Amino acid sequence: MDWTALRRRFREAPLLPPPAPWRPLAPIAIGGLTDVGFGFAGRDLLFVSSSTGRGVFDCVNGGRVARDHEEIHPDDPLVREGIGPLAGMEIRMAGLDA
C-alpha cells in the first residue's frame, strides 16, 4: 500500500461538519490512549482504554461517565470488560493491538 498517497488523500479531504444527529463537542484529551470501543446502556457510550486505566464517555454530550486507574492485561486484545454503566459487558475494541 502506498501510505504516502493515503496520507495525502486524508490531508486533502475537505473538512465538513458532521452529519445529523452528530454535532461537534469540545475535544477530550486521553493520554496514552490504546483502544476504543462502543457500548450501549440506555445511551451510546464510548469505552476507552489507556496506559493509565479505563474510561467511559457519553457520546451525546462528551461527558465522562466512569473512570478507573486499574492496569489491565487482557487475554484477548479485542475485548475488554466494561466499567461503570458498562460493567459486566464485554466491549469489542479496536486500537494499537487490534
User: pLDDT tens for residues 47-81?
Assistant: 999 988 999 999 888 999 999 998 777 788 889 99
Mean pLDDT of 18-38: 88
Confidence grade of residue 98 (pLDDT, cut at 50, 70, 90): low
* Single pTM value for the model: 0.78
pLDDT of residue 12: 95
Is the predicted pLDDT of residue 20 greater than 90, yes or no? no
- The rounded distance, in Å, linking the Cα atoms of 62 and 49 is 16
Partners of 40 in beta bridges: 44
